[in-house]
Structure 1
């Protein structure tokens, strides 16, 4: 696994930022509620949208010569915690020649007609499931005459715009280097920590390996990795690009870092042969200058947005009938 880096710098003097970080028919509300523990920021998980072919759509087998019409229905459920607008979710059926099944390429490519609301935690820590949408492709039939039987690999390509929210806490001390700390005195928190806990919302891309260090009398640095947490066959690309795989669009994730002052944001590029196996490290530095500090913990909010492409496979057997 390659590990690339990009440097982001947040320079804070009093409350002034001097430089920013570099570097298919109906929708259904979730409704179902699952009891959970309170005190969590997110439900978590490594899935955004999940697609599955409904039983019998397509059927396991069909007949040639237009003798047996059939439908394809893909059930898509928002298992993650990011809301997806209708036009930001698309399904394309591939693996067959449309004209051989009395359809067109356009008819096999559909956007959702309703938004897919993400799963949510209520005030009691219970999980409210995300919404569901059904993509319907109607009245297909194989119109050729064959000998014996043929098997076709059917694939539903899913493309959607999604996002990740992650949180971690920084340790800020009046005396970051410990010069005035008495022997044996335990600080409120540790300003140097290579394993800072980080919480991610349910999504296929995660923030991992959050770490903090002291880089000067009045400076704190922190870093984190961005990683595809799901199947390595899935692809990431620039948000709202319709999963564009051109070099200028693929493997790009938009990153926002918010520590309570004006947000720092920009694109991070995941370089490499396969985006599924890539991680990218992001670095930020906070310079407090001569501002008087106290001891406290500061929440860091990170938001990632991107297009995500995944697929669902099945097989369709076409048999000859006399």
Structure 2
């Protein structure tokens, strides 16, 4: 009988412990707010893409017939795979490769088109979930108008439809510099290293910032440099002053030479007395890339009365970018069977 009572008491005790454990788990996990498992640990998604450009399948079609017998449209899809919040007014799209009148269109309908909406970029919410880019469209010649090859071809002929896209874009990058009270006699247990290659984070864009390097230039001076690299397939043009508005990618050879491969660079360390070589305003100016690369070097003078610390360096690149996509259309001669 005593053994049965002890067994019952043991069973009750185990049951109480289980119920209490479930209460704790429910109370901690069910009503509280857990730290998100995928919370972002880096400031950017990173990558080397800007706006992805393509023709919708079948618009234009691969084959059409001549003599005004086949109506069609060319629809360009734009998807902002980078991280810059691009606005529709900062995009221009031209349709090149065809004579508008051959296809029953007005030349003005093929130039300086813009999408109806802003192409929202890829982004990440506070919990680390990636929100994919939205797709926007541009229709040639117009949403309620169509191409139609009106002439008669003597033999099947291929025409090239090229969507030529120019848009403003921006890269943001983040790294850190190390400042010590004594930059010459560095202890082994200091909070940071003033002479090393630093980690740099760069937002997704055709232009990237990488290879951030810091060194000591004196008792009260540090020097840092970084590389700007072009990793996309398009062309870079100047943007950011009165002569170079947004979405300005000149085709005129002379103007193109003046603006091609020019990038506006802004560097901000949050500290006074920062000077960057080649930037007219010390921390803001235009640089010219050579073979897809440019190194920027900056000198940071420091207050003699200082502590040991690390601080962020923010780098911003502003530029116009031109890219294109092609689609071939075969115009077939329609034989008169009458």
Q: TM-score, normalised on structure 2?
A: 0.77
| 1:224 aligned onto 2:226 | yes
Instruction: Tell me if the contact between 1:238 and 1:244 (Cα under 8 Å) persists in the aligned partners.
Output: no
Per the alignment, residue 285 of structure 2 pairs with 266
Residue 282, structure 1, aligned to residue 296, structure 2? yes
Quote the residue 2:73 is aligned against. 71
Q: How far off its partner does 1:38 sit?
A: 1.6
Identify the residue that residue 163 of structure 1 maps to in structure 2.
170
Is contact 1:206-1:226 (8 Å) kept?
A: yes
Shift of the alpha carbon at 1:88?
Answer: 0.7
Is residue 320 of structure 2 the alignment partner of residue 307 of structure 1?
Answer: yes
- The question of 1:129 aligning with 2:132 is answered yes
> What residue in structure 2 maps to residue 293 of structure 1?
306
Secondary structure at the counterpart of residue 111 of structure 1: coil
Q: Equivalents in 2 of 1:229, 1:293: separation in Å?
A: 39
2:332 pairs with 312, 319, 322, which one? 319
Tell me which residue corresponds to 1:45.
47
1:164-201: CA deviations, max 9, x gaps? 0000111111111126x3xxx333221111x3211111
Asked whether the equivalents of residues 36 and 127 of structure 1 are also in contact (C-alpha less than 8 Å), the reply is no
- Indicate if the aligned counterparts of 2:76 and 2:139 stay in contact, CA closer than 8 A: yes
What CA distance in whole angstroms lies between the structure 1 residues aligned with 2:235 and 2:203? 19
Pick from 258, 271, 280 the counterpart of residue 248 of structure 1.
258
Q: TM-score, normalised by structure 1?
A: 0.81
Structure 2: gaps (5+ residues): 1-36, 240-244, 275-282
Runs (4 or more) in structure 1 with deviation over 6 Å come to none
Match of 1:145 among 152, 155, 161: 152
Give 1 or 2: higher helix fraction: 2
Distance 1:229 1:124 in 2: 29
Matches of 1:52 and 1:316 in 2, distance apart? Answer: 15
> Displacement of 1:257 after TM fit?
0.7
Contact map agreement 2:88 2:116 (CA 8 A) in 1: yes
Aligned twin of 1:257:
267
2:238 corresponds in structure 1 to 238
Contact 2:175 2:198 in 1 (8 A): yes
Considering only aligned residues, what root-mean-square deviation do their CA atoms show, in Å? 1.8
Where 2:89 maps in the other structure, the secondary structure is helix
SS of corresponding position for 1:107: helix
How far has the Cα of 1:37 moved from its partner?
5.4
Aligned to 1:26: none
For the residue of structure 2 that corresponds to 1:46, the secondary structure is coil
3-state secondary structure, aligned to 1:44: coil
Ranked by relative contact order (alpha carbons within 8 Å, sequence separation 6 or more), the top structure is: 1
Partner of 1:102: 104
Question: Is the contact between residue 45 and residue 203 of structure 1 (CA under 8 Å) also seen in structure 2?
Answer: yes
Contact 1:87 1:113 in 2 (8 A): no
Secondary structure at 2:146's aligned position in 1? strand
* SS of match in other structure, 2:57: coil
Q: Which has the larger radius of gyration?
A: 2
Report how many residues are paired.
275
Q: Which residue of 1 aligns with 2:123?
A: 120
- 2:158 and 2:222 mapped to 1: Cα distance? 60
| Distance in 1 of aligned mates of 2:204 and 2:39 | 16
Would the alpha carbon gap of residues 178 and 105 (structure 1) be closer, same or farther in structure 2, given more than 3 Å must change? farther
Task: Tell me the distance in 2 between the aligned counterparts of 1:320 and 1:37.
Answer: 60
The farther-off stretch of 116-125 and 202-211 is: 116-125
Aligned equivalents of 2:61, 2:39: Cα separation in 1: 41
